[in-house]
Amino acid sequence: MTEVRKIAGNTLAQTVGKIITIAVGLIAFGLITRQLGQEGFGYYTTVYAFLTVFAILIDLGLQLTATKLISDPKNDEGVILSNALTIRLLASVVFLSLAALVVWAFPYNNLIKLGVVVAASGFIFTSLTATLTGLFQKHLAMPKAVLADVLSKIIYLSCLLLVINLGYGLIGIIIATVIDSFFSFAILFYFARRYTKLGLSFNWLVWQKILLATWPIALTIALNLIYFKGDLVIMSLLRSQAEVGLYGAPYKILEVLINVIYLFLGLILPLLASAVASNNFGRLKKIIQAVFDFLIILSVPLIIGGWFLGRPMMIFMAGPDFAISGDLIKILLLATVIIFLAALFGYVIIALDKQKQMIKFYAINAIISIIAYLIFIPIYSYWAAAWITVLSELFILLNAFLVVKKTITFQPHLNLLGKVILASLIMAIPLTAWPQLPFLTLLILGVAVYFVVLYLIRGLDRQLIAEIIAIKNK
């Protein structure tokens, strides 16, 4: 199979697979919110927000580092991945066990504390799964990774329906999530062993190589997660669990959207690293511009469409109890778009090996954001959390862009922006004209109008699509 066909196959598989997993995830989200209600979903959100704080300590940036290292033909991918898996497993066991102990010192409901203990085991499998993903990205074998995700999500949905019907509540739902994490890793590990020899390995020289390469990424990810999840943790301690649930519901949608973009950018990282390694900065800039245009095409209608469909979307997905979350998601979608663009420049920085230059910005952002959360969340609750999230992400985007611009003198062209805005505004006309239509009808209508208009005004042409594919074939 030629590389072009493999790329096309990867793209199609990821698109179909991601549609399935997102659909399953959103169905599960709707089942959970309706089963638990505002307060119960607040408990659920608190459990995973608390564990995410400890996940900061086990992430170590190993997925990005492993992807970059195995993209270098001088490195043995099996040796790199086996040692990376061992580092990740050891860190997971140590820090997640610590989380299961420390939570009992917090002023949480005992149900939340028990939930943390149960959910911690699932985090171990999730962290190992993330480390393996780079192998499939490198070999253009993402269909297998997608298949593992789809199969585990089908098992998850089946388990979720079972525990809900049996009335097992929060703990049952968390157990279903742990089962999802286990099967996702087990299936992915099975596929991975077809490409390289994998197992637990302790090679101190390799550990040094991985840790030296990963510590700047690990530190920036840790600082990033501190302000990204800090609002939920602080809210869980200073406000009611019902408010945590109302904020956590649109936050969940935000995370789904971000994960989709990170999956796409994960495929781009080896290409960025390859262009840098070969000193082909012309190709590097072309890749960045093509991806930037693609993100702009997705981002602007997301903001404008979300402004009109925020409330009906949250009512449709989470139930009428979460109507106010529809106003929150309008703000969080703005943060989501900023994260999209910041992620692109962040991956370019990793490819350029300039992560250390971003550490000070992440540190400043984390400190200011946490202080702002502590001051304003007790007064303004989730409204403060949402707007502080937007400002903190904007700060990172601006500084990531400046680092890239300074390093390779890259300035993105905004030729498409005007056309994308025009198409998005025209898309808004039917959304405002027929607000009484069902949400799904409005969504399909809005998407159709947007892309038809964008195509007619030559904002969406074959050249951009060809560039997204062609940059991977040169």
Q: Each residue of 406-443: pLDDT tens digit?
A: 888 888 888 888 999 999 999 999 999 998 899 999 99
Residue 65 has pLDDT above 70, yes or no: no
Q: Is residue 433 part of a domain?
A: no
Query: For residue 422, is it within any domain?
Result: no
Q: Which has the higher per-residue pLDDT, 228 or 400?
A: 400
Identify which of 23-27, 172-176, 251-255 has the greatest average pLDDT. 172-176
The mean pLDDT of 142-155, rounded to a whole number, is 81
Measure the CA–CA gap between 394 and 390, rounded to whole angstroms: 6
Q: Per residue in 126-137, pLDDT tens?
A: 877 777 766 666
Which residues, 6+ apart, have CB-to-CB distance to 102 below 8 Å?
none
CA distance linking residue 243 with residue 45, whole number of Å: 11
Separation CA 134–CA 65 (nearest Å)? 9
CA 405 to chain centre: 25
Who's near 432: CB < 8 A, 6+ residues apart? 308
Structural domains counted in the chain: 1
Q: What pLDDT is recorded for position 1?
A: 44
Domain-embedded: residue 177: yes
Distance CA 101, CA 404 (A): 42
pLDDT in the model for residue 280: 82
The pair phi, psi for residue 438, each rounded to 5°, is -60, 150
For every residue of 257-270, DSSP letters joined together read HHHHHHHHHHHHHH
Q: Which are the contacts of 106, defined by CB distance < 8 A and separation ≥ 6?
A: 50, 113, 237
In a domain, 228, yes or no: yes
Residue 241 lies in a domain: yes
Closest listed residue to residue 324, CA positions, set 247, 259, 412: 247
Mean pLDDT for the stretch of residues 454-465? 72
How many Cβ atoms from other residues are within 10 Å of residue 114's Cβ?
18
User: pLDDT digit string (tens) for 273-309?
Assistant: 778 878 888 888 888 888 898 899 999 999 999 999 9
Examine residue 302 and state whether it is found in any structural domain, yes or no: yes
Based on C-alpha coordinates, what's the Rg of the chain? 22
Distance of CA 192 to the CA centre of its chain: 22
Helices 204-238, 3-59: inter-axial angle, 10-degree rounding: 70
The per-residue b/e assignment along 278-312, b for 16 or more CB within 10 angstroms, e otherwise, is eeeeebbbbbbbbbbbbbbbbbbbbbbbbebbbbb
Give the chain's mean pLDDT: 83
What is the distance, to the nearest Å, from the Cα of residue 394 to the centroid of all Cα atoms in its chain?
17
Residue 321: domain span: 3-416+459-470
Is residue 259 included in any domain, yes or no? yes
Residues 351-367: tens digit of each pLDDT: 888 877 888 888 898 88
pLDDT tier for residue 5 given thresholds of 50, 70 and 90: low
Sequence-ordered list of residues with C-beta below 8 angstroms from that of 86, at least 6 positions apart, any chain? 200, 201, 202
Alpha-carbon dihedral 28, 191, 8, 66, rounded to 10 degrees: 90
| Structural domain includes residue 440 | no
